[in-house]
Amino acid sequence: MKIIIVNLHSSKNLGDEAILRSTLYLISKNIKNSQITLVANDPQSWFYFNNCKIIPSFINLSISDLNKFTINFRLMVVLLINLLISFFPLSNRINNRYFDVIKTVKEADLVFSCGGGNFYSNSLLGVPLLLNCLIIIFAGLNKKRIIFLPQSFGPFKKKFHKNYLRAAFYFSEKILVREKKSIDFLDSMNIDFSKTELVPDLAFLLTKLSNYESSDQIVEKPTNLKIGLTIMNRGEQIENFKFQNEYEKSIESFLEEFLKKNNGEIYFFVQCYGPSNDQNDNTISKRIYEKVKQYSARVYLRNHFTNSFDLSNELAKMDLIIATRMHTAIFGLINYVPTITIGYQHKSQGLMNLFNLNEYFISINDINLYSIEEKFYLVLRNKNEIISDLRKQVPYVQRNIVEKFRYII
Protein backbone atom coordinates (compact mmCIF):
# COMPACT_ATOMS: atom_id res chain seq x y z
CA MET A 1 0.00 0.00 0.00
CA LYS A 2 1.30 3.44 -0.93
CA ILE A 3 0.87 5.81 2.00
CA ILE A 4 1.73 9.49 2.10
CA ILE A 5 1.96 11.59 5.24
CA VAL A 6 1.33 15.22 4.37
CA ASN A 7 1.59 18.47 6.35
CA LEU A 8 4.69 17.24 8.14
CA HIS A 9 6.70 20.17 9.45
CA SER A 10 10.28 19.73 10.66
CA SER A 11 12.19 17.26 12.81
CA LYS A 12 13.92 20.29 14.32
CA ASN A 13 10.82 20.47 16.48
CA LEU A 14 11.22 17.31 18.54
CA GLY A 15 7.49 17.26 19.22
CA ASP A 16 6.88 16.78 15.50
CA GLU A 17 9.64 14.19 15.46
CA ALA A 18 7.94 12.22 18.25
CA ILE A 19 4.59 12.37 16.45
CA LEU A 20 6.10 10.96 13.27
CA ARG A 21 7.90 8.17 15.13
CA SER A 22 4.60 7.18 16.73
CA THR A 23 2.77 7.41 13.41
CA LEU A 24 5.25 5.08 11.72
CA TYR A 25 4.98 2.70 14.66
CA LEU A 26 1.18 2.54 14.31
CA ILE A 27 1.40 2.05 10.55
CA SER A 28 3.92 -0.78 10.96
CA LYS A 29 1.63 -2.53 13.46
CA ASN A 30 -1.52 -2.21 11.37
CA ILE A 31 -0.62 -2.00 7.67
CA LYS A 32 1.70 -4.55 6.13
CA ASN A 33 3.90 -3.98 3.08
CA SER A 34 3.44 -0.23 3.14
CA GLN A 35 5.51 2.21 1.11
CA ILE A 36 5.61 5.52 2.96
CA THR A 37 6.35 8.97 1.57
CA LEU A 38 6.77 11.98 3.84
CA VAL A 39 5.66 15.32 2.38
CA ALA A 40 7.46 17.84 4.57
CA ASN A 41 7.96 21.58 4.97
CA ASP A 42 11.59 20.96 5.92
CA PRO A 43 12.38 17.75 4.02
CA GLN A 44 16.14 17.83 4.66
CA SER A 45 15.57 17.59 8.41
CA TRP A 46 13.96 14.14 8.10
CA PHE A 47 16.87 12.51 6.24
CA TYR A 48 17.51 9.90 8.95
CA PHE A 49 14.06 8.34 8.45
CA ASN A 50 15.66 6.32 5.68
CA ASN A 51 12.82 3.81 5.35
CA CYS A 52 10.65 6.57 3.92
CA LYS A 53 10.81 8.59 0.75
CA ILE A 54 10.91 12.32 1.60
CA ILE A 55 9.72 15.10 -0.70
CA PRO A 56 8.90 18.82 -0.34
CA SER A 57 5.44 19.99 0.72
CA PHE A 58 3.34 22.66 -0.97
CA ILE A 59 4.60 25.08 1.67
CA ASN A 60 8.23 24.23 0.98
CA LEU A 61 7.66 24.71 -2.74
CA SER A 62 6.15 28.13 -2.06
CA ILE A 63 8.80 29.66 0.19
CA SER A 64 11.93 31.48 -0.83
CA ASP A 65 13.67 31.48 2.56
CA LEU A 66 13.24 28.58 4.99
CA ASN A 67 15.00 30.51 7.77
CA LYS A 68 12.33 33.19 7.63
CA PHE A 69 9.55 30.90 6.38
CA THR A 70 8.44 33.59 3.95
CA ILE A 71 5.83 32.70 1.34
CA ASN A 72 6.77 33.71 -2.19
CA PHE A 73 3.46 34.42 -3.92
CA ARG A 74 4.94 33.98 -7.39
CA LEU A 75 6.04 30.45 -6.48
CA MET A 76 2.63 29.78 -4.98
CA VAL A 77 0.87 30.84 -8.19
CA VAL A 78 3.16 28.58 -10.23
CA LEU A 79 2.29 25.71 -7.87
CA LEU A 80 -1.43 26.33 -8.39
CA ILE A 81 -0.99 26.39 -12.17
CA ASN A 82 0.86 23.07 -12.09
CA LEU A 83 -1.84 21.50 -9.90
CA LEU A 84 -4.44 22.62 -12.42
CA ILE A 85 -2.44 21.24 -15.33
CA SER A 86 -2.27 17.84 -13.60
CA PHE A 87 -6.03 17.32 -14.12
CA PHE A 88 -5.64 17.46 -17.89
CA PRO A 89 -3.67 15.29 -20.33
CA LEU A 90 -0.79 17.72 -20.05
CA SER A 91 1.31 15.98 -17.40
CA ASN A 92 4.41 16.40 -19.55
CA ARG A 93 3.99 20.15 -19.03
CA ILE A 94 4.28 19.95 -15.24
CA ASN A 95 7.35 21.74 -13.93
CA ASN A 96 9.96 19.32 -12.55
CA ARG A 97 9.91 21.24 -9.27
CA TYR A 98 6.32 20.12 -8.63
CA PHE A 99 6.20 16.82 -10.50
CA ASP A 100 7.28 14.60 -7.60
CA VAL A 101 4.66 15.72 -5.09
CA ILE A 102 1.86 15.75 -7.69
CA LYS A 103 2.77 12.25 -8.90
CA THR A 104 3.05 10.97 -5.31
CA VAL A 105 -0.42 12.21 -4.37
CA LYS A 106 -1.96 10.80 -7.54
CA GLU A 107 -0.44 7.35 -6.92
CA ALA A 108 -1.24 7.16 -3.20
CA ASP A 109 -3.67 4.63 -1.75
CA LEU A 110 -3.99 6.39 1.61
CA VAL A 111 -3.28 9.96 2.71
CA PHE A 112 -2.61 10.83 6.34
CA SER A 113 -2.49 14.46 7.39
CA CYS A 114 0.20 14.37 10.05
CA GLY A 115 -0.84 14.92 13.65
CA GLY A 116 0.09 18.11 15.46
CA GLY A 117 -1.01 21.72 15.42
CA ASN A 118 -0.88 22.61 11.74
CA PHE A 119 -4.34 24.08 11.19
CA TYR A 120 -4.42 27.60 12.60
CA SER A 121 -3.68 31.04 11.23
CA ASN A 122 -2.06 34.19 12.55
CA SER A 123 -1.82 36.26 9.36
CA LEU A 124 -4.31 38.17 7.24
CA LEU A 125 -4.54 35.66 4.38
CA GLY A 126 -3.59 32.56 6.35
CA VAL A 127 -1.47 31.25 3.48
CA PRO A 128 0.30 28.41 5.38
CA LEU A 129 -3.13 27.19 6.51
CA LEU A 130 -4.39 27.44 2.93
CA LEU A 131 -1.47 25.39 1.61
CA ASN A 132 -1.94 22.73 4.31
CA CYS A 133 -5.58 22.45 3.30
CA LEU A 134 -4.78 22.60 -0.42
CA ILE A 135 -2.84 19.34 -0.48
CA ILE A 136 -5.80 17.64 1.25
CA ILE A 137 -8.20 19.13 -1.29
CA PHE A 138 -5.93 18.08 -4.16
CA ALA A 139 -5.82 14.52 -2.80
CA GLY A 140 -9.60 14.56 -2.41
CA LEU A 141 -10.13 15.72 -5.99
CA ASN A 142 -8.00 12.74 -6.99
CA LYS A 143 -10.38 10.49 -5.00
CA LYS A 144 -7.91 9.45 -2.31
CA ARG A 145 -8.77 8.08 1.10
CA ILE A 146 -7.86 10.83 3.61
CA ILE A 147 -7.50 10.67 7.40
CA PHE A 148 -6.49 13.52 9.69
CA LEU A 149 -4.30 12.14 12.46
CA PRO A 150 -4.78 13.67 15.95
CA GLN A 151 -4.75 17.39 15.41
CA SER A 152 -5.58 20.69 17.07
CA PHE A 153 -7.67 23.17 15.11
CA GLY A 154 -7.69 26.94 15.45
CA PRO A 155 -7.47 29.68 16.37
CA PHE A 156 -7.96 31.57 13.10
CA LYS A 157 -7.01 35.16 12.44
CA LYS A 158 -9.97 35.71 10.10
CA LYS A 159 -13.35 34.00 9.93
CA PHE A 160 -13.02 33.22 6.22
CA HIS A 161 -10.01 31.00 7.00
CA LYS A 162 -12.49 28.42 8.27
CA ASN A 163 -13.59 27.91 4.67
CA TYR A 164 -10.16 26.48 3.82
CA LEU A 165 -10.68 23.87 6.51
CA ARG A 166 -14.27 23.14 5.50
CA ALA A 167 -13.11 22.36 1.98
CA ALA A 168 -10.42 19.99 3.27
CA PHE A 169 -12.86 18.27 5.63
CA TYR A 170 -15.33 17.73 2.79
CA PHE A 171 -12.91 15.24 1.22
CA SER A 172 -11.82 13.58 4.47
CA GLU A 173 -13.00 10.22 5.73
CA LYS A 174 -12.01 10.72 9.37
CA ILE A 175 -10.82 13.66 11.46
CA LEU A 176 -8.99 12.71 14.65
CA VAL A 177 -8.92 15.55 17.16
CA ARG A 178 -6.52 15.61 20.08
CA GLU A 179 -8.42 17.71 22.62
CA LYS A 180 -12.00 18.63 23.43
CA LYS A 181 -11.50 22.34 22.79
CA SER A 182 -10.80 21.54 19.15
CA ILE A 183 -13.89 19.31 19.04
CA ASP A 184 -15.91 22.27 20.30
CA PHE A 185 -14.26 24.47 17.69
CA LEU A 186 -15.27 22.07 14.90
CA ASP A 187 -18.80 21.87 16.31
CA SER A 188 -19.02 25.65 16.01
CA MET A 189 -18.17 25.19 12.30
CA ASN A 190 -20.98 22.61 11.93
CA ILE A 191 -18.55 19.91 10.83
CA ASP A 192 -20.15 16.49 10.34
CA PHE A 193 -19.92 14.96 13.82
CA SER A 194 -19.69 11.42 12.43
CA LYS A 195 -16.30 12.25 10.92
CA THR A 196 -14.66 13.41 14.15
CA GLU A 197 -13.06 11.27 16.84
CA LEU A 198 -11.27 12.35 20.02
CA VAL A 199 -7.81 10.73 20.04
CA PRO A 200 -4.89 12.07 22.12
CA ASP A 201 -1.62 13.28 20.64
CA LEU A 202 0.36 10.40 19.12
CA ALA A 203 3.53 11.48 20.95
CA PHE A 204 2.07 9.79 24.04
CA LEU A 205 3.25 6.53 22.48
CA LEU A 206 6.93 7.50 22.58
CA THR A 207 7.73 5.44 25.67
CA LYS A 208 6.20 2.36 23.98
CA LEU A 209 8.40 2.55 20.90
CA SER A 210 11.81 1.63 22.23
CA ASN A 211 14.00 0.90 25.21
CA TYR A 212 16.31 3.55 23.83
CA GLU A 213 18.78 4.85 26.40
CA SER A 214 20.10 8.39 26.27
CA SER A 215 23.79 8.63 25.54
CA ASP A 216 24.13 11.92 27.40
CA GLN A 217 23.14 11.45 31.00
CA ILE A 218 22.47 14.08 33.64
CA VAL A 219 24.47 13.30 36.77
CA GLU A 220 21.99 12.03 39.34
CA LYS A 221 21.75 14.06 42.56
CA PRO A 222 18.72 12.60 44.35
CA THR A 223 18.85 15.07 47.24
CA ASN A 224 18.33 18.10 45.00
CA LEU A 225 15.02 19.18 43.51
CA LYS A 226 15.47 19.33 39.75
CA ILE A 227 13.27 21.60 37.66
CA GLY A 228 13.26 21.31 33.87
CA LEU A 229 11.70 23.93 31.66
CA THR A 230 11.22 24.94 28.05
CA ILE A 231 10.69 28.52 26.97
CA MET A 232 9.94 30.19 23.66
CA ASN A 233 9.83 33.59 22.00
CA ARG A 234 6.15 33.91 21.19
CA GLY A 235 6.64 37.61 20.57
CA GLU A 236 8.87 36.87 17.60
CA GLN A 237 6.30 34.48 16.15
CA ILE A 238 3.18 36.58 16.57
CA GLU A 239 2.92 40.21 15.60
CA ASN A 240 1.47 42.38 18.37
CA PHE A 241 1.91 39.72 21.06
CA LYS A 242 2.05 41.93 24.14
CA PHE A 243 3.06 39.56 26.90
CA GLN A 244 6.56 38.38 25.97
CA ASN A 245 8.38 40.71 28.37
CA GLU A 246 6.10 39.80 31.28
CA TYR A 247 6.47 36.11 30.44
CA GLU A 248 10.27 36.28 30.46
CA LYS A 249 10.45 38.50 33.53
CA SER A 250 8.10 36.20 35.47
CA ILE A 251 10.14 33.10 34.68
CA GLU A 252 13.42 34.82 35.53
CA SER A 253 12.03 36.11 38.83
CA PHE A 254 10.64 32.72 39.78
CA LEU A 255 13.92 30.97 39.04
CA GLU A 256 15.88 33.57 40.99
CA GLU A 257 13.61 33.07 44.02
CA PHE A 258 13.79 29.29 43.68
CA LEU A 259 17.59 29.28 43.64
CA LYS A 260 17.74 31.55 46.69
CA LYS A 261 15.32 29.47 48.75
CA ASN A 262 16.14 25.93 47.60
CA ASN A 263 19.22 23.81 47.13
CA GLY A 264 17.83 22.70 43.79
CA GLU A 265 18.86 22.72 40.15
CA ILE A 266 17.43 24.35 37.04
CA TYR A 267 17.67 22.73 33.61
CA PHE A 268 16.79 24.70 30.49
CA PHE A 269 15.79 22.24 27.75
CA VAL A 270 15.48 23.15 24.08
CA GLN A 271 12.80 21.18 22.24
CA CYS A 272 12.55 23.24 19.05
CA TYR A 273 15.56 24.22 16.89
CA GLY A 274 13.83 25.65 13.82
CA PRO A 275 13.48 25.48 10.91
CA SER A 276 12.73 29.21 10.89
CA ASN A 277 14.53 31.62 13.19
CA ASP A 278 11.39 32.46 15.16
CA GLN A 279 10.86 28.75 15.90
CA ASN A 280 14.38 28.23 17.24
CA ASP A 281 14.10 28.25 21.03
CA ASN A 282 17.86 28.00 21.41
CA THR A 283 18.26 31.77 21.18
CA ILE A 284 15.87 32.71 23.97
CA SER A 285 16.94 29.74 26.11
CA LYS A 286 20.58 30.81 25.96
CA ARG A 287 19.68 34.40 26.76
CA ILE A 288 17.61 33.60 29.84
CA TYR A 289 20.04 30.90 30.94
CA GLU A 290 22.86 33.47 30.93
CA LYS A 291 20.78 35.77 33.13
CA VAL A 292 19.69 33.11 35.60
CA LYS A 293 23.09 31.48 36.01
CA GLN A 294 24.32 34.74 37.54
CA TYR A 295 22.38 33.77 40.66
CA SER A 296 23.81 30.25 40.99
CA ALA A 297 26.04 27.65 39.39
CA ARG A 298 23.15 25.19 39.72
CA VAL A 299 21.74 26.18 36.34
CA TYR A 300 22.26 24.09 33.20
CA LEU A 301 21.46 24.46 29.51
CA ARG A 302 20.53 21.31 27.59
CA ASN A 303 20.38 22.44 23.97
CA HIS A 304 21.86 19.67 21.85
CA PHE A 305 19.07 17.11 21.42
CA THR A 306 18.64 15.60 17.98
CA ASN A 307 15.78 13.21 18.68
CA SER A 308 12.75 12.97 20.93
CA PHE A 309 13.99 9.85 22.72
CA ASP A 310 16.96 11.68 24.21
CA LEU A 311 14.85 14.64 25.27
CA SER A 312 12.18 12.43 26.83
CA ASN A 313 14.74 10.36 28.71
CA GLU A 314 16.40 13.44 30.17
CA LEU A 315 13.10 15.03 31.16
CA ALA A 316 12.25 11.80 32.98
CA LYS A 317 14.98 12.66 35.50
CA MET A 318 13.33 15.90 36.55
CA ASP A 319 11.24 16.26 39.70
CA LEU A 320 9.05 18.92 38.10
CA ILE A 321 8.69 20.39 34.61
CA ILE A 322 7.50 23.84 33.57
CA ALA A 323 6.68 23.54 29.88
CA THR A 324 5.80 26.25 27.42
CA ARG A 325 6.30 23.76 24.58
CA MET A 326 3.37 21.36 24.75
CA HIS A 327 5.35 18.27 23.78
CA THR A 328 7.77 18.91 26.61
CA ALA A 329 4.73 18.53 28.84
CA ILE A 330 3.78 15.30 27.08
CA PHE A 331 7.31 13.93 27.49
CA GLY A 332 7.08 14.78 31.18
CA LEU A 333 3.66 13.22 31.68
CA ILE A 334 4.50 9.94 29.94
CA ASN A 335 7.45 9.66 32.32
CA TYR A 336 5.18 10.43 35.31
CA VAL A 337 6.82 13.77 36.07
CA PRO A 338 4.49 16.43 37.58
CA THR A 339 4.19 19.20 35.02
CA ILE A 340 3.04 22.81 34.82
CA THR A 341 2.12 24.06 31.35
CA ILE A 342 2.30 27.64 30.13
CA GLY A 343 -0.12 27.68 27.23
CA TYR A 344 -0.06 29.93 24.17
CA GLN A 345 -2.83 28.04 22.33
CA HIS A 346 -5.74 25.95 23.55
CA LYS A 347 -3.86 22.72 22.83
CA SER A 348 -1.89 22.98 26.10
CA GLN A 349 -5.00 23.49 28.20
CA GLY A 350 -6.67 20.62 26.35
CA LEU A 351 -3.71 18.40 27.21
CA MET A 352 -3.97 19.18 30.91
CA ASN A 353 -7.74 18.65 30.86
CA LEU A 354 -7.13 15.16 29.49
CA PHE A 355 -5.50 14.24 32.81
CA ASN A 356 -7.67 16.44 35.03
CA LEU A 357 -4.63 18.63 35.65
CA ASN A 358 -6.11 21.94 34.57
CA GLU A 359 -5.20 23.55 37.90
CA TYR A 360 -1.55 23.29 36.79
CA PHE A 361 -2.13 25.30 33.60
CA ILE A 362 -1.16 28.97 33.16
CA SER A 363 -2.14 31.04 30.14
CA ILE A 364 0.86 32.87 28.71
CA ASN A 365 -1.37 35.96 28.56
CA ASP A 366 -1.93 35.89 32.33
CA ILE A 367 1.48 34.86 33.59
CA ASN A 368 3.21 36.58 36.49
CA LEU A 369 5.53 35.61 39.32
CA TYR A 370 2.63 34.86 41.65
CA SER A 371 0.90 32.51 39.18
CA ILE A 372 4.07 30.45 38.70
CA GLU A 373 4.80 30.27 42.42
CA GLU A 374 1.21 29.29 43.17
CA LYS A 375 1.31 26.39 40.69
CA PHE A 376 4.79 25.36 41.82
CA TYR A 377 3.85 24.99 45.47
CA LEU A 378 0.57 23.33 44.53
CA VAL A 379 2.49 20.71 42.55
CA LEU A 380 4.88 20.12 45.45
CA ARG A 381 1.97 19.56 47.82
CA ASN A 382 0.22 17.16 45.45
CA LYS A 383 3.27 15.53 43.86
CA ASN A 384 2.67 11.97 45.06
CA GLU A 385 -0.99 12.07 44.09
CA ILE A 386 -0.15 13.42 40.62
CA ILE A 387 2.42 10.69 40.01
CA SER A 388 0.04 7.99 41.22
CA ASP A 389 -2.71 9.23 38.90
CA LEU A 390 -0.36 9.47 35.91
CA ARG A 391 0.77 5.88 36.42
CA LYS A 392 -2.85 4.83 35.97
CA GLN A 393 -3.87 7.27 33.26
CA VAL A 394 -0.92 7.25 30.84
CA PRO A 395 -1.13 3.51 30.00
CA TYR A 396 -4.87 3.92 29.45
CA VAL A 397 -4.28 6.84 27.05
CA GLN A 398 -1.66 4.83 25.18
CA ARG A 399 -3.98 1.83 24.80
CA ASN A 400 -6.77 4.13 23.67
CA ILE A 401 -4.60 5.57 20.88
CA VAL A 402 -3.52 2.14 19.64
CA GLU A 403 -7.05 0.72 19.68
CA LYS A 404 -8.65 3.69 17.95
CA PHE A 405 -6.01 3.74 15.23
CA ARG A 406 -6.56 0.03 14.60
CA TYR A 407 -10.32 0.55 14.42
CA ILE A 408 -10.11 3.53 12.06
CA ILE A 409 -7.68 1.85 9.67
Q: Are residues 360 and 231 in the same domain?
A: yes
Q: Are residues 238 and 277 in the same domain?
A: yes
CATH number at residue 112: 3.40.50
Q: Are residues 247 and 378 in the same domain?
A: yes
262 in any annotated domain: yes
Write out the residue range of the structural domain in which residue 130 sits: 2-199
Residues 313, 298: contact at Cβ < 8 Å?
Answer: no
pLDDT at 268 > cutoff 80 = yes
Q: How does pLDDT run across 302-319, given as a tens digit for each residue?
A: 999 999 999 999 999 999
pLDDT at 83 > cutoff 50 = yes
Instruction: Report the pLDDT value the prediction gives residue 105, as an integer from 0 to 100.
Output: 97
What is the distance between the alpha carbons of residues 299 and 409, in angstroms, rounded to a whole number? 47
Q: How does pLDDT run across 85-109, given as a tens digit for each residue?
A: 998 876 667 888 899 999 999 999 9
Please report which confidence band the pLDDT of residue 70 belongs to, taking 50, 70 and 90 as the band edges.
Answer: confident
69 in any annotated domain: yes
CA neighbours closer than 13 Å in the CB half-sphere of residue 104 = 26
Q: Are residues 255 and 193 in the same domain?
A: no
3-state SS record for the chain: CEEEEEEECCCCEHHHHHHHHHHHHHHHHHCCCCEEEEEECCHHHHCCCCCCEEEECCCHHHEEECCCCEECHHHHHHHHHHHHHCCCCCHHHCCHHHHHHHHHHHHCCEEEECCEEEECCCCCCCHHHHHHHHHHHHHHHCCCEEEEEEEEECCCCCCCHHHHHHHHHHCCCEEEECCHHHHHHHHHCCCCHHHEEECCCHHHHHHHHCCCCCCCCCCCCCCCCEEEEECCCHHHHCCCCCCHHHHHHHHHHHHHHHHHHCCCEEEEECCEECCCHHHECHHHHHHHHHHHCCCCCCEEEECCCCCHHHHHHHHCCCCEEEECCHHHHHHHHHCCCCEEEEECCHHHHHHHHHCCCHHHEEECCCCCHHHHHHHHHHHHHHHHHHHHHHHHHHHHHHHHHHHHHHHHC
Q: Are residues 322 and 255 in the same domain?
A: yes
Please tell me the total count of domains within the chain.
Answer: 2
CATH number at residue 343: 3.40.50.2000
Q: Which has the minimum average pLDDT: 203-207, 235-239, 266-270, 295-299?
A: 235-239
**Percent of the chain whose pLDDT exceeds 90:** 83
pTM: 0.94
Q: How does pLDDT run across 371-406, given as a tens digit for each residue?
A: 999 999 999 999 999 999 999 999 999 999 999 999
258 in any annotated domain: yes
When the pLDDT of each residue in the chain is averaged and rounded to a whole number, the result is: 93
